[in-house]
Structure formats: C-alpha cells, structure tokens
Structure 1
Amino acid sequence: MILNATNISKSFGSNEIIKSATFLINEHEKAAIVGVNGAGKTTLLKILTGEEQADGGSVTLAKDAKLGYLRQINNVDSTLSIIDELYTVIEPILDMEKRILKMQNEMRHLTGEKLEKLYSSYTALTHNYELMDGYAAKSKVVGILKGLGFEEADFDRKINTLSGGQKTRVFLAKLLLEEPDIILLDEPTNHLDLRSIEWLESYLLNYNGAVVIVSHDRYFLDKIVSKVIDIENGNVQMYLGNYTDFSNKKQMLLDAKMKEYLNQQQEIRHQEAVITKLKQFNREKSIKRAESRQKQLEKIERVDAPQTYTENMRLSLDIAKESGKDVLSVHNLSKSFDRKKLFYDINFEIKRGERVAIIGDNGTGKTTLLKIINGILEPDTGEVIYGSNVSVAYYDQEHQVLHMDKTLFDEISDTYPEMTNTRIRNILAAFLFTGEDVYKKISDLSGGERGRVSLVKLMLSKANFLLLDEPTNHLDIVSKDVLENALNSFPGTVCYVSHDRYFINKTATRILDLTENRLLNYIGNYDYYIEKREAVEEAANLSNIEQAQKGIDVSESKQEWMDNKTAQAQKKKIKNTLNKCEKEISEIESELQTVDEEFANPKNSSNVGKLMELQKQKEALEERLDKLMADWEELTLQMEE
C-alpha cells in the first residue's frame, strides 16, 4: 500500500459530492478516477494531495513516499528556458558533473600524496554519479521532452512565453523526470498529439511508481490502468480491470440491481392487489388475512431503485435533404504560414455516408485544412469543390461560431427565429440546460458547456455534411458516448479532426493522417490505422523516392492495390502447389495399400525375390510420403499466414 483513503467526504454547501469514499492504491499500481463532469474527480485528487481539506475521513501516504501532482492548468511563470527548467530536477547530478570535471583538471597538476588523496575522492564521487545514473541524465531530459512533443528548437524558449498547454507539458515532463513514488495526473493527455499520447502510455506502463489518472480518454485508460475508482452521485466504488472491464461490470451490476428492484416492485404490487381484494370481501377472516399480509409487506426490506446518472445529453442528428454521391473533392491544396509549409499538393475525395477522421501531430495543419474546406481560410494553391446538394455545418473547437455576449436562449432564438420559446427550452433541456441556465451568457459558460451549445446548433442545422474540429474536447465520457451514437446513426457525411483515439475507433470509416506535409489514407478505424501505419508509411516513403528518381506518382492506394494483387497471386500459387501435393499423397497412399495387399497374397509368401522387391518398393513409397507430408505442413502454414 502506498496510499490509503478512508471514509473521505466532501460537500459544497448542500451538495455532497463525495460520500464516505474508501479505497487504496498499491505500490506500482495504475488506477483511474472516472465520473461525469462535476462529479468531483479533481476535488478528490486535491484531497489526496492535501491541497484541499476533506470534511471527514483521512488520507494516509506510505512513510517516506514522494507524491507528484499534475493539475489541469499549470500556469508556471518562469523566466528559465524549457531545458533549464528541467535541469533544475537533475541539479545535484549537474553539480557532481562540474565537480568531477574540476577534479580531473586538478589531478593533471598534482603528484604524490595529494594526487592519491584527490583520486580517492574522485573515485567515490564518480561511483555516486554512476549510481544516480548521471551519464544518462541529460539524455533522459531530452527523451522526455521529445516524447511529449517538443522539438530541439523549442528547448531554449522561455517558460513565460509558452501557451497554457505547453506549460502543462513542461510541468508533466518535470514530474516524470522527478520520478515520485506516486503520480496523480489530472487530464494528462490534454494538449498532447497522438504520438505523444502513445509515448506517454508506454512511459507510464513501464513506470516503476504508482499512477492515479483522471481522464476522459478511454483508449488511454484501457491501455494503462488495472483499477478504476468510479464517482457517481457522490458514491465512490472501486472496480478491478481497465476501463472497458469497469464499464462492462458496472452495467452488469446496474442491470442486476434494476432486475432485483423491478421484481420486488412487481411482488409488492401483487401483494397490494391481494390485500385490496381481501378487504373488499368484507368478511372477518378475509380482513384478518389482509391485515396479516399487510404486516408482512411492511416488514419487507425495500430495494432502492438503482441510482445512475440519468441526465444524459440527448443528441439526434438528421438532414433536411440528401447530398449527391460526391460530397467533397480537394485538388492540389497547399498552405504555408510565415514560411512554414504545413502541407502541399494535397488531393482527396469524400463520398456520401463516409465518416473521415483527420489526424496528425500538433502543428501539422489539421485545423487549418478544416478551415480551408469550410471556406474560412484561403489556400495558397489548389481548390475545394463541393458536390451537388451539399449543406455544411461547422463545429469549431474554439467555439468562434458562438456569440459571447448573447445568452444561450438568444443564441438559439436569433439563429432559428421560427422556433417557439417552448421548443427552444425543450431542446436546451435535452443538452442539460434547464431553468435559469438558459439565460446564462455564453462568455460565462465552461468549455464543456460551450461545446454542448455548439452541438445544439449543429443538430438544428440539419446539414448533410458536418465539419467538426475536436468535438469531444471538454465532453465527459457519457456525453462522448452520446455523440458517438449520434454520428454513427447520422444519415449524412462527416469529416472531423480529433486526437480522441477511442472516439476515432468507434466512429471513423476512414482516416487521413496529415504527416510530413502530406496525407496518408487508411480505409478503416483507429485499430486498422495502428495495424497498417508502418507499412503505409514505408510505402509512401518508397513512393517519394520513386517519384524523385523517375518522376512518377505512385499513390498509397495504388501501392496498396499492388500489394494486394501480389499477395493474391502468391496465395493462388501456394494453393495450386498444395492441391498437387494432396493429390500425390493420395496416389502414394493407394500405391502403399496395393503393396500391402501383395505382401498378404499367399502366392507371394514363398517367393523371396518378390517379397524383397515389394519391401524395397514400400520403403521408397514411405520415404516419398514422408517428404510430401512435410511439404504439406509447410504449405498449409504458408496459407494460414
């Protein structure tokens, strides 16, 4: 045990958000804290760190254990550069390094006893330096920074000039470098691109200490955690397994509880009906029986209806009219900013009914590409062509489509003036805005609330082509599920930018990876992308070399078609050889049967010469059969591969 929470409770006014929470974290364990927005996840983390006081209960940390905490917002105002900020963590090692160099210089000018004495100190110091892994310390700093998405050109940038997301990444890098015994991470994948998230996954999986993570990234949690702490309606429950295990177990428990509740309710209604009937008979015996049953009914220990988060966002996406089969064609698109080339000569098409995810590292131009498609930005070269009857709705991650000075109600009524007040209120209620909430100003809303307002406008647009920029940002897991189901049922076409791998895996029918100024095409979801990424990138790099050498264009899709054609030809060749092998095995087995029959023929029993000839023939056939059987096994294995 490294951390033990016992009967933790916390209220804000009359709202009790945590009720008697009890759980423990073991050494080396990786655990998640999950729950909807506002459930109290961050509050619980702050209580575990001591940053906030609980109303009741206690938190015990193992003796001498060091705790590290990554907040969602880390607005560090430092004048140090990124690399120097991280060097503060390994300062003892850097000081030892300076002393070692100083000793080396001094030993060049000493002799005799003084040299011997200094050399003894030098040996002890270098030994300690090695124990502290001093030779690898600077490399580790660079490795962590690059893993979290910083380029070497960024290392000298001052901390106070960075964005909030970049500062959080620096703080995360420091935390990982410090290697505390237990790390508490609040939304660590925010501000990270896909490759950085993959790197962090690998790092945390191999991390020697314990890790507690608050995150809405379900793919991330599935990869890392083996325990889930769920907060719902103030109740805290612990489950073993990753996020998917937890989700399945929770649903099973909920279903069992609901079944028990419904069965008891049915039995109660039955008993109440019997009691009423007995009383109607108005006879002494029947009245006594009714009273007896009533007493038994009152003694029943009632099962409460299972408490669950029922205020789910309700989202249904429909279209006013169907588009043509060709929804979007992009030709020779290029874009640069301040001499930085984001992408060039990009070509792709989107057909009706596709759900296309655009992915890539931070800064590759994904949002820029989406804005060009939507007509917000002009490309340097190329054109964007929409098909017939295409109507577009745009979801902006910065919510610039919303008017910050308006109330929620006015934002909807001004955009759709034909809607009645009751209709507007009902729709806003479906997105969890009720009562006086509808008169809040957009500027006063949280990121998640603004996201829900943008989704309201998206739903009401009835557009048949949706362009979405990071639609799952700020949404809790329940709301993400709702959005996923809505998009999967949407009869139109969708193109979106996202770094939410679980969301991509559940919704995408195609992925466009914006990498090294080009788009690579994958016909499948995120799991397919992971499976094919290395092969497609190799094929694309080979294609670039061929273009440079021969001046020809070999697209990724053509390369994939050629690879498939080669594989099919090879498979056909193996199958033909296998059929021939099986046919020859059958023929030899028939010949062996004939030889055995000749051996058994009484006419040959006294003919020594004949028997010797049959024996020689049998040995040759068996030898050939053994060889064929070995070939058959090898060919069968090749077919399976």
Structure 2
Amino acid sequence: MILACQNISKSFGTTEILKNVSFHVNEKEKVAIVGINGAGKSTLLKIIMKELSADEGEVILAKGSTIGYLAQHQNLTSENSILDEMLTVKQDVIDLDANIRKLEQDMKHAEGAELNQMLSTYTRLMHEFEIKNGYAYQSEVTGILKGLGFMEEEFDKKVNTLSGGQKTRIALGKLLLSKPDIILLDEPTNHLDLISIAWLETFLLNYNGAVIVVAHDRYFLDKVVSKVVELDNMKCQSFEGNYSVYAQKKEMLRNAMLKQYLNQQQEIKHQEEVIAKLRSFNREKSIKRAESREKMLEKIERIERPTDHSEMHFHLEPRIISGNDVLKVTDLAKSYGNLTLFTNLNFEIKRGEKVAIIGNNGTGKTTILKIINGQVKADQGEIKLGSKVHVGYYDQEHQVLDPDKTLFDELQDTYPNLDNTTIRNILAAFLFTEDDVFKRIKDISGGERGRVSLAKLMLSEANLLILDEPTNHLDITSKEILENAINQYQGTVLYVSHDRYFINKTATRILDLTEQTLLNYIGNYDYYLEKKPEVEAAYLGRSTISQQALYGTKPGAFPASLSSRSATTTKENDSDNKQTWQQQKEEQAKIRKRKNDLKKTEEEIHQLELRSEEIDALLTKEEIYTNVSKLLELNNEKKELEIRLEELLEQWESLASEE
C-alpha cells in the first residue's frame, strides 16, 4: 500500500461534501475516482495534496514516496520555450552531465592521487547518470512532447504565448517526466486529441508508479484503471475492475438495493393493512395482536431508496420529418492565411444517420460545423440542405447563450410563446429549480451552461442536430442521458466529439478528418479502430474504398454456423418459455387459492362475530339468564365461538403473511 485515505470528511459552510471517505491505493495500481459533478472528486485530490485540509480523517503516504499532481486549471507562466520548460524537470541530470564533462576536462591535466580521486568521483557520477537515464533524457523529453501533440517546429514557442489547453499539456508533460511514485490527474484528457489520449493511455498503463485519475472519459478509464473509487452522496465505495466492470456492478447493486427497498415498502404496506384489519375485528386479542405488529413495525430499520442521479429528463423530438437527403457538402475548402485546413471535402448525410467527425486538434472539425451552420464562410464549396431540414446547433463554447441573461430569460426570449410555468418545468427537467432559474449565464459553470444549451436544443424540435463537443463539461451520468436521447432521436445528427465512448454508443458512421480530407467508416468507434489501417491503405493506394473494406464483409454474408446456432438458441428459448409459463401458471393458481382462503376466513370470522354479539345480547335478557339450561347452552356456544375465532385469527394472520 502506497497511499490511504482514512475517514476523510469535508464541508464548505453548511454543505457537507465528503463524509468518512476511506480507500487505499497499492503500488503501481491505477485507480479512477468517479462521481457526478459536485461529488467532491477534485476536493479529495486537493486534500490528498494538502492544498485543502480535511475537517476529519487523515491521508497516509508511504514513507519516502513522492507524489505529483495535475489540477484541472493551470496558470503556467514562463518566459522559457516549450522545450526549455520541459527540460527544467531534468535540471539535475543536466547539471550532472555538465559536472561529468568538466571532470573529463580536468582529468586531462591531473596525475597521481589527484587523478585517482577524480576517477573515483567520475565512476560515481557516471553510475548516477546512468541510473537517471541520462543518455536518453533528451529523447525522453521529445517523446513526451510529441506524444502530447506538440510538433518539433513548435518546441521553440514561448510558454507565455500558448493557449490554456497547451499550457495544461506542458504541465502534464512535466509531471510525467518527473516520474513521482504517485501521479494524481484531474481531467487529463480535456485538452488532448484522440491520438494524444491513446498515447497517454499507453504511457500510464506502462508507468511504474501508482496513478489516481479523475476523468469523465469512460473509454480512457476502461483502458487504464483497474479499480474505481466512487463518490456518491458524500460517501465512498471501491470496485475492482475498469469503468465498464464498475458500471455493471453498480447497476446490479442498485437494482438489488432498489428491489430490497421496494420489497420492504411492500411489506410495510402489507403489515399496515394487516394491523388495520386486526383492529377492525375489534376484539381484545386482535387489538393486542395489532399493537404487537405495530411495535415490530417501528423496530424495522428502514432501507433508503437508492439515489438515482439520472433525474435530468431529456427527450429530442423533430417537429417535422425531413426528406431522405438531409445534407450535401461539395468541394468544401477553408484556409486561414498560410494554414490550409481542408480542400475538396465531399460528403452526404441521409435521414436518420448519426455521423461523428473525428480528427486531431486543429484539423478543422469545428470549422466544418460552423460553415454548415452559417457562422463561418467557406473559401469555396457548396452546402446544400435537403427538403424540410430544420437545424438545431449546439456550440461547445456556448456562444449561442447571452452571458448577461438569466436562465429563465434565455429560454423565454428564444421561445416567446412559452408560458412561465412551461419554462420553469423545462428548466427543472434539466435540474434548475427555484431561484436557480434567475442566475445569470455568466455566473454558472461550464456543465450548467451545457445543460441550458441542451434545453434550448430540445425546444428547437429540429430534425438535424449539429453538435460541437456535446459531452464537454458533462458528468458521466449526464453523458449517458444524452446518449440515450440521441439513440432514441428520430432525426439526423452530425457531431464533433473526442469522447470515444460516446462515439461508440451513438455513431452509425464516422468521418475521419485527416490529411486535409475525410475518410469514411460505416460503423462506430470500435469498427473505426479495426478498419483504420485497411481504409487508410486503400485511400493512399486508390481513390475509392471497396464495400468490403467499409463493411468488413460482403452484404448478406454471415458465418455458416450462425443459422444453426440461432436455431439451437430458439429451441432452448422455446423450452425456457414453456417452463416459465408453467411456473407462472402454478404460481397464479397458488395466489388465487390463498386469496380465496383468506376471503373465506374473513367471512367466517365476520359470521362468528355477529353470532357472538347476538349471544351477548341474549345473555342480557331475563328469560335467558333465569333459564339455567338455556344459559349453559349459550355460554358453551360462546366458548366454542371464542376458540374457533382464535383459530381463525391465527389462520387469517398466517394467510395474510404469505401475501
């Protein structure tokens, strides 16, 4: 074990964020911390790094272990070039190299004991230099920079001239180069393209230390981590396995907990009905039984309903159906000065397709969407929308939102026909309630702005959705909700995304923007990975790509074993269905019998109680209590009634408990 968090608790004012959070990390283990936005993931990393103090609990780090941290937001300021800034991490190796070179010069002029001492020092320094991988440190720096998406011609750029995303990549590179025993990464993939993310995955998998990562990139988590620590409702739970394994276990646990909760609620309701019925018999023993059951009911430890963060209601519905030909792009080209993004782009999109545009950062993916949406003018080419096509646009920078407007006004001004109640209900569906609706756009988080943009998109009733990085700033739960909405959407979708899990779940076709042109893949992201070498080779070798290259096989050609396997499965299913039907029939018969027995018992109890009341009334009459034989007869009947009623009450309770 290299790190342990024990009973960490943290509050900000009256808001409790973490409560008794405990988990541990072993040497070389790769761990993900997951949870909805606001669950306390970044707070926990800052507590581990001692940037924040915990209210309770402690963080234990193995003696002598080093730790490095990449925060979400970097404020890196330096007059150094990119290369020189990276080399600051290797300053000890650079100094060591300089000392060795100087010693080599000095030894040329030394003799005797002095030379022997210098040789001893030289041997020691060379050994240290080799341990620190001194011969390869320059290629190591270059490899990390290239892996993170920097070209060699950019190495001389000043750090202060870089964008926020580029500075974050430099900070990540410096951290990886420093090789601490534990690396803490907060959303490391946010500013990386697909190639850089794949490189980082490989780097972390082979990393000799432990890694703790907070990320919403589920594909990345699947590749890298072997344990998931979930923060939910202030508490913590650990799951062995990658993200997909965690998601399956979590779903199974939640379903089991929900089943327990519903079963308990059903039992509580049943017991309350039994108690009410026992009281309705209005007999001393039945009332005592009712009171006994009430005490038992009070002692039950109530199970809380499992939390479900999937509360955001999101449903996309086109107002009208478009024609089959939705979009045609012909000979599209765009340059900025000497930088050519793309030339002669040609593609078509048909109704119902979900098309993802992917490619490296800076290749022009967002520019294509902006040209189609009329926000940027193309240098050449034609954009043609099909019949009855109505476009809805989602901008990753949320420039379609007015920062000075409130959430309520943003929707009301865009859709003036909506009444106040409707606007409030729509905002509530996207988790904005009460006074939240009067917050200004500029005062809310990126994730919240994303939800406002999605709300506007839903109201647009468009039949062609153009989405630019729709999953940015969304937590995993919100991403899953968006995935379901897109998969159920009857319209057409064209989007840019670097979220491979999202692409895998939603795309029916992928357009890869590479070398200033588009390569076409008819399938999801897994299919793209499988066919990429084949399609690129085909593209480089000839202008057309064969149907077999796109589909992987001839249409209609399936393995011979498939039909026989299907037939066997069908027989097994028929047998299972027959057995299940028979079991259901028997169970239903048992339920009917129990209900009939319960009804008969209640009717007999009712008749006996009526007779008992008649006897009580008769015993008060003079002609009865003065007639000894009649009095004995009624008393005996009364005793028999009591015995029988006692039996019936027990029988009724037994039958009622079986329900």
Q: Which residue does 1:476 correspond to in 2?
A: 475
Kindly indicate whether residue 555 of structure 2 is the aligned counterpart of residue 556 of structure 1. Answer: no
Residue 101 and residue 267 in structure 1: after superposition, are their counterparts in 2 closer, same or farther (change >3 A)?
same
Kindly indicate whether residue 15 of structure 2 is the aligned counterpart of residue 3 of structure 1. Answer: no
Q: Which residue does 2:281 correspond to in 1?
A: 281
Kindly indicate whether residue 122 of structure 2 is the aligned counterpart of residue 122 of structure 1. Answer: yes
- Please list the CA deviations of residues 228-268 of structure 1 after superposition, one character each: whole Å capped at 9, or x if unmatched: 11111111111111111111111111111111122122222
Query: Which range moved further: 281-290 or 58-67?
Result: 281-290
In structure 2, the gaps of 5 or more residues are 561-659
Query: Which range moved further: 212-221 or 329-338?
Result: 329-338
Question: Does the 8 A contact of 2:531 with 2:549 survive in 1?
Answer: no
Residue 145 and residue 561 in structure 1: after superposition, are their counterparts in 2 closer, same or farther (change >3 A)?
closer
Partner SS, residue 122 of structure 1: helix
Residue 399 and residue 557 in structure 1: after superposition, are their counterparts in 2 closer, same or farther (change >3 A)?
farther
Partner SS, residue 350 of structure 1: strand
Q: Which residue does 2:453 correspond to in 1?
A: 454
Kindly indicate whether residue 355 of structure 2 is the aligned counterpart of residue 356 of structure 1. Answer: yes
Q: Which residue does 2:417 correspond to in 1?
A: 418
> What number of residue pairs does the alignment pair up?
559
CA distance in structure 2 between the aligned counterparts of 1:15 and 1:494, rounded to whole angstroms: 40
Kindly indicate whether residue 342 of structure 2 is the aligned counterpart of residue 330 of structure 1. Answer: no
CA distance in structure 2 between the aligned counterparts of 1:565 and 1:266, rounded to whole angstroms: 54
Question: Does the 8 A contact of 2:309 with 2:477 survive in 1?
Answer: no
Mapping of residues 104-503 of structure 1, within 5 Å? 104-107=104-107, 118-306=118-306, 308-310=307-309, 312-503=311-502
Q: Which residue does 1:45 correspond to in 2?
A: 45
- CA drift at 1:562: 11
1:305 corresponds to which letter in structure 2?
R
- CA drift at 1:311: 5.9
In structure 1, the gaps of 5 or more residues are 544-553, 573-641
Question: Does the 8 A contact of 1:312 with 1:478 survive in 2?
Answer: no
Partner SS, residue 418 of structure 2: coil
Query: Which range moved further: 313-322 or 265-274?
Result: 265-274
Partner SS, residue 17 of structure 2: strand
1:555 corresponds to which letter in structure 2?
T
Question: Does the 8 A contact of 1:226 with 1:240 survive in 2?
Answer: yes
Question: Does the 8 A contact of 1:311 with 1:432 survive in 2?
Answer: no
Partner SS, residue 11 of structure 2: strand
Residue 130 and residue 305 in structure 1: after superposition, are their counterparts in 2 closer, same or farther (change >3 A)?
same
Mapping of residues 10-159 of structure 1, within 5 Å? 10-107=10-107, 118-159=118-159
Question: Does the 8 A contact of 2:318 with 2:491 survive in 1?
Answer: yes
Partner SS, residue 511 of structure 1: strand
- Please list the CA deviations of residues 546-589 of structure 1 after superposition, one character each: whole Å capped at 9, or x if unmatched: xxxxxxxx2235683799679x9xx99xxxxxxxxxxxxxxxxx
Q: Which residue does 1:580 correspond to in 2?
A: none
CA distance in structure 2 between the aligned counterparts of 1:557 and 1:346, rounded to whole angstroms: 19
- Please list the CA deviations of residues 33-55 of structure 1 after superposition, one character each: whole Å capped at 9, or x if unmatched: 11111111111111111110111
Q: Which residue does 2:537 correspond to in 1?
A: 538
Partner SS, residue 375 of structure 1: coil
- Please list the CA deviations of residues 291-318 of structure 1 after superposition, one character each: whole Å capped at 9, or x if unmatched: 2222232333332322x13462211001
RMSD, aligned CA: 2.1
Partner SS, residue 94 of structure 1: helix
Partner SS, residue 153 of structure 1: helix
Query: Which range moved further: 476-485 or 292-301?
Result: 292-301
Residue 128 and residue 310 in structure 1: after superposition, are their counterparts in 2 closer, same or farther (change >3 A)?
closer
Partner SS, residue 261 of structure 2: helix
Question: Does the 8 A contact of 2:86 with 2:174 survive in 1?
Answer: yes
Question: Does the 8 A contact of 2:407 with 2:438 survive in 1?
Answer: yes
TM-score normalised to structure 2 length: 0.82
Question: Does the 8 A contact of 2:8 with 2:22 survive in 1?
Answer: yes
2:258 corresponds to which letter in structure 1?
M
1:168 corresponds to which letter in structure 2?
T
Partner SS, residue 78 of structure 2: coil
Partner SS, residue 321 of structure 2: coil
Question: Does the 8 A contact of 2:358 with 2:365 survive in 1?
Answer: yes
Q: Which residue does 1:617 correspond to in 2?
A: none
CA distance in structure 2 between the aligned counterparts of 1:104 and 1:210, rounded to whole angstroms: 39
CA distance in structure 2 between the aligned counterparts of 1:444 and 1:416, rounded to whole angstroms: 22
- Please list the CA deviations of residues 203-250 of structure 1 after superposition, one character each: whole Å capped at 9, or x if unmatched: 000101000011101111111111111111111111111111111111
- CA drift at 1:110: 5.9
Question: Does the 8 A contact of 2:521 with 2:550 survive in 1?
Answer: no
CA distance in structure 2 between the aligned counterparts of 1:294 and 1:5, rounded to whole angstroms: 43
Residue 5 and residue 528 in structure 1: after superposition, are their counterparts in 2 closer, same or farther (change >3 A)?
same
CA distance in structure 1 between the aligned counterparts of 2:517 and 2:546, rounded to whole angstroms: 14
- CA drift at 1:112: 6.7
Question: Does the 8 A contact of 1:312 with 1:479 survive in 2?
Answer: no
State percent identity of aligned pairs. Answer: 62
Residue 112 and residue 491 in structure 1: after superposition, are their counterparts in 2 closer, same or farther (change >3 A)?
same
- CA drift at 1:111: 6.6
Question: Does the 8 A contact of 1:19 with 1:235 survive in 2?
Answer: yes
CA distance in structure 2 between the aligned counterparts of 1:468 and 1:172, rounded to whole angstroms: 28
Query: Which range moved further: 17-26 or 262-271?
Result: 262-271
Residue 138 and residue 389 in structure 1: after superposition, are their counterparts in 2 closer, same or farther (change >3 A)?
same
Question: Does the 8 A contact of 2:8 with 2:18 survive in 1?
Answer: yes
- CA drift at 1:113: 6.6
2:89 corresponds to which letter in structure 1?
V
Partner SS, residue 89 of structure 2: coil
- CA drift at 1:503: 0.2
Partner SS, residue 89 of structure 1: helix
Q: Which residue does 2:595 correspond to in 1?
A: none
Mapping of residues 575-614 of structure 1, within 5 Å? none
CA distance in structure 1 between the aligned counterparts of 2:108 and 2:553, rounded to whole angstroms: 67
Question: Does the 8 A contact of 1:447 with 1:474 survive in 2?
Answer: yes
CA distance in structure 1 between the aligned counterparts of 2:218 and 2:279, rounded to whole angstroms: 57
Partner SS, residue 496 of structure 1: strand
Query: Which range moved further: 423-432 or 258-267?
Result: 258-267
CA distance in structure 1 between the aligned counterparts of 2:442 and 2:292, rounded to whole angstroms: 63
Question: Does the 8 A contact of 2:31 with 2:225 survive in 1?
Answer: yes
